[in-house]
Amino acid sequence: MKLVFASNNKNKIQEIKHQLPKDIELLSLEDIGCFEEIPETADTIEGNAIIKANYVTEKYGFNCFADDTGLEVTALNGEPGVYSARYAGEQKSTEDNMKKLLKALKDSSNREARFKTVIALNLKGEQHLFTGIVNGTITTQKAGNEGFGYDPVFKPEGLDLTFAQISLTQKAELSHRGRAVSKLIDFLKS
């Protein structure tokens, strides 16, 4: 089965390919000739995933799925949330985002946070949503060189390491995206 993942984020594509069964051929936006930036104008994570999936299905006619992820920090009333990728500005700088987050939490003893991923799947004229959530804490400084985004400052519950300090296989088992992708895979197999 061919399935388009509505993303050109090479890190996300690699993470998801790592989990998918071999009988599913994953295509990126680049693979289908989609080079435009799909606008993420919704005010929810679910809404942005739906917008991206619908864009590909309507404009290119492919079965596809799209995801959106947000980091929700309790002490910051759920911020950065839907604005996680551009928390420090439209340049979408991972380093700037982490610096802003760590600065915002500098004097906070409450470092609780959660990552939330929603996948919207458009398959054979129907839409299905899959959600993955992982709770954890924001560290006081960056640790690790793996992963991407906020991984160096997010320590999942039950682990004394950040997402940036563990392997791709471990992250797939523990992460928000990994959990949402597992639900997607279970659905595709059924």
117-151 pLDDT, tens digit per residue, is 999 999 999 999 999 999 999 999 999 998 889 99
Percent of residues, the chain, with pLDDT higher than 90? 75
The domain that holds 152 is classified in CATH as 3.90.950.10
CB neighbourhood size of 82 (10 A)? 21
Residue 31 has pLDDT above 90, yes or no: yes
**Domains contained in the chain, number:** 1
SS3 175: coil
Full residue range of the structural domain in which residue 28 is found? 2-189
- What's the CA gap between 78 and 107, in Å, rounded? 17
- Cα–chain-centroid distance for residue 185? 16
pLDDT at 18: 80
Residue pair 175/132 in contact (Cβ under 8 Å)? The answer is yes
How far, in Å, are 17, 28, 30 from residue 10 at the CA level? 10, 9, 11
Question: Mean pLDDT in the chain?
Answer: 93
Token pair listed for 81: 């949330």
32 Cβ neighbours under 8 A, 6+ residues apart: 4, 56, 60, 62
Residue 12 has pLDDT above 90, yes or no: no
Q: Classify residue 166 by its DSSP letter.
A: S
Provide the annotated active-site residues: 68
